[in-house]
Copies of this chain bind each other. A is one copy, B any other.
Amino acid sequence: MPIELNTVVEDTKENDMDIDFTSCFNKCHNPLDWSEDIVPAEPNYFTAPFNRSRENIFIINNKDTFFTNAQRSRMVYEVLLRTKYEPARDKIGIDKLVSNGAYTAHFPLHDGKFTSEHSILTNGAANDRHLLYETWARPGVWYKHQPLDLIRNYFGEKVGIYFAWLGFYTGMLIPASLVGLAVFIYGIATLWENIPSEDICDKSGAGNITMCPLCDKRCYYWKLSTSCLYSRATYLFDNPSTVFFAAFMALWATVFLEFWKRKQAEIEYDWDVADYEFEEHVRPEFEAKVTRTKVNPVTKIEEPYLPFYSKGCRRFTSLLVICFMICLVLAALLGVIVYRIVIVAVFYAQPYRYIQENAKLATTATAACINLIIIMLLNKIYYQVALALTNLERPRTDTEFENSFTIKMFCFQFVNFYATIFYIAFFKGSFYEYPGSDWNYIHLAEEKYMIIQCDPAGCLIELCIQLAIVMVGKQAFNNFKEIMIPKIKNWCSARGAKKAEKQEDNIYTRWERDHDLTASPPMGLFEEYLEMVIQYGFVTIFVAAFPLAPLFALINNIIEIRLDAFKFVCEWRRPPAMKAQDIGIWFGILQGITFIAVITNAFIIAYTSDFIPKMVYRFSPNDGHQDLTGYMRWTLSKFDVNDFENSSRPDPNHDSARSPEFNNTIVTECSYRDFRNPPGIDPKYEHTLTYWYIFAARLAFVIVFEHAIFLLTWVIGYMIPDIPADVHLMMLRENYLAKEAIYTTEKDK
């Protein structure tokens, strides 16, 4: 527990011309900051871990406030965790007493009420909790910087770092969402100038092309103009600016991570948690369960210890189980896909017209329900499995425990959330060949079922809709849940107590009040991080398909910060204060997501969007075009309806055949989106040269895009030092003073 040692405030202040401008700027009052009257600034000390036998060397102004609120609660907690309540070897700690029912709960008390009759501006804060509420958890202060030092002193470093990160991330989302919005507005502004979608909407031009049916037998031919709305909507997200935006977001993610590293270094230094992991205590569970001991070679103190082979076996087992669980999720996804393919055919085969007409809708609805149920079920199971596996691994410290649990949960949640989206982006529709091809069918129980294609406007619009629903829906639902559930719970439990107070003249005590609050979940921050990191995935991985994602994320996060703050300050029992050096393994996960994002964006632009075919159409060296006139026709291939098998050919008596569009004309040839030979040319329906040309262009784009982005990423990472210059200087100075101290000691011996 590092504590002030020797004041070195102002010690390393630069007497340098270069930074004069900055310091000048800093002196101006920033409306986003709190004035020093309300939130006092923390002085900067040279620090060292506290040791009672050396009490005299520390600066102690007031023994009651020398340790912060959080430090005191942490010390009590540590003592309670290690106290034996019975002589037996494993009868240790308050947690066991709670679990066997001797106590109902244990928690540090809050500082008092978070409301006060007097305004904070006139009377000052009644207590730390009140101060936190007024400066942090109130919705009215949504635009202000968070008082991070206060949070740290009240809740501990771990909660402090979470909010520091969340605030930083939200701030970084502002430029991203502005650019995203600009891209979207560009899409709207140029919508009517987009020749391909205007072509499609023109019923007398390309819109009049007869397209091949989208399903087997029961679907009829259709006119391209039907796809008008979808094609316009697609353009909003699939225009040249999207490519720019994908590149921008890849770089944004790199800059975000690099600057967070700096911010984190600053926090590490300010909060003296830089070498936290070295001095972290062994978990009580580890001490209780591991019988073998060994002298710790650093401190020369005997410590429990898990041999290497045992650790290896435990980790390997846990890896196998995780792989199995992930396969289970993928199998479930596959199951749902097959279910859709089969059930849509079954619905169509029903004799009732009503069912036939709504076959697609019914399929989608039931499939979504099944999917949701499976995901939720697996989620519940997996949470327990991950907990059990992490315990099996016997992590030595709390940090190790959390990291191990986090990586397990993240892998699972990642697959769980993104599998469907990846499927839509890269696989849906790719297996579809030309109409009537045998490859379009899967064979199940001697029946054949046609696989599902994307809408003729491309898979991108489906991807976009899916993303919007999942992301916005999930966030809205989560926020609603986070607001309402604790409110209801607290209201229920407090009502009883208040009634009792009124009736029996009892005083409603602090500990009763706090006990009536919702218990803070054991891994409360874990859920918050997970939610944010999954959101970061939406913001970066699929940003090419949904440029508004950063904006939605920004709005959500502004609400989220205050909601979380309110939860911590007002609705939860105060959690035991914990220490943490950084955001832990989440940083590695964010790096991984950023990496995946570059690759995914490259492939979405090259493969899912229409960017490359359009480029080829316009700028092909042999036959380029001035604009995209005729592009729509160019992307279609012809199919001779006589090549349909009888079981697949559309019913000529279909209702649609009598519609004004077709007017009972006999269709001999239909079109579909692909680059294949027309019926007359051998080899029939094989991919044309243009197809392979575009394919090569797509791959070349991936190579160029990735290399360019990774090169730029590397340059950015190289140019931005990991530790801000002033913090680095302070560290060097601390190091220098420590060395000087060694001499003095040795000399005096």
Residues of A within 8 A of B (CB): 5-6, 12, 14-18, 48-49, 51, 54, 56-57, 275, 278, 294-295, 297-299, 307-308, 599, 622, 683, 686-689, 692-693, 695-696, 699-700, 702-703, 707, 729, 732-733, 735-736, 738-739, 741-749
Query: Which residues of B lie under 8 Å from residue A739 when comparing CB positions?
Result: 48-49, 738
Q: How far is the CA of A733 from the CA of B742 in the complex (A)?
A: 15
Query: Which residues of B lie under 8 Å from residue A703 when comparing CB positions?
Result: 699, 702-703
In the complex with contacts A49-B739, A695-B696, A307-B748 CB distance below 8 A: no
A297 touching B696, Cβ below 8 Å? no
A297 touching B733, Cβ below 8 Å? yes
A247, chain B: closest CB distance, angstroms: 18
Query: Which residues of B lie under 8 Å from residue A700 when comparing CB positions?
Result: 699
B747 touching A57, Cβ below 8 Å? yes
Supply 15 further A-B pairs (C-beta < 8 A) apart from A298-B732, A699-B700.
A12-B297, A14-B297, A15-B294, A15-B295, A17-B307, A18-B308, A56-B747, A278-B732, A696-B696, A738-B739, A741-B742, A742-B742, A744-B745, A745-B745, A745-B748
Q: How far is the CA of A735 from the CA of B735 in the complex (A)?
A: 11
B707 touching A54, Cβ below 8 Å? no
Across the interface, name the chain B residue whose C-beta is closest to A690: B692
A sample of 24 inter-chain contacts (CB < 8 A) reads A6-B746, A12-B297, A14-B297, A15-B295, A18-B308, A48-B746, A49-B739, A57-B746, A57-B749, A278-B732, A278-B735, A298-B732, A299-B736, A599-B707, A692-B692, A692-B695, A699-B702, A699-B703, A702-B703, A738-B742, A741-B742, A741-B745, A742-B742, A744-B748
A57 touching B743, Cβ below 8 Å? yes
Across the interface, name the chain B residue whose C-beta is closest to A687: B689
Query: Which residues of B lie under 8 Å from residue A702 when comparing CB positions?
Result: 699, 703
Query: Which residues of B lie under 8 Å from residue A692 when comparing CB positions?
Result: 689, 692-693, 695-696
A622 touching B686, Cβ below 8 Å? yes
Query: Which residues of B lie under 8 Å from residue A746 when comparing CB positions?
Result: 5-6, 48, 54, 57, 741
Across the interface, name the chain B residue whose C-beta is closest to A689: B689
CB-contact partner of A696 in B17, B622, B699, under 8 A: B699
A736 touching B298, Cβ below 8 Å? yes
A640, chain B: closest CB distance, angstroms: 21
Q: How far is the CA of A703 from the CA of B729 in the complex (A)?
A: 43
Across the interface, name the chain B residue whose C-beta is closest to A603: B703
Q: How far is the CA of A647 from the CA of B375 in the complex (A)?
A: 74
Q: How far is the CA of A77 from the CA of B15 in the complex (A)?
A: 34
Query: Which residues of B lie under 8 Å from residue A599 when comparing CB positions?
Result: 707
In the complex with contacts A298-B729, A686-B622, A696-B692, A48-B742 CB distance below 8 A: yes
A695, chain B: closest CB distance, angstroms: 5
Across the interface, name the chain B residue whose C-beta is closest to A588: B718
Query: Which residues of B lie under 8 Å from residue A743 when comparing CB positions?
Result: 48, 51, 54, 57
Query: Which residues of B lie under 8 Å from residue A57 when comparing CB positions?
Result: 743, 746-747, 749
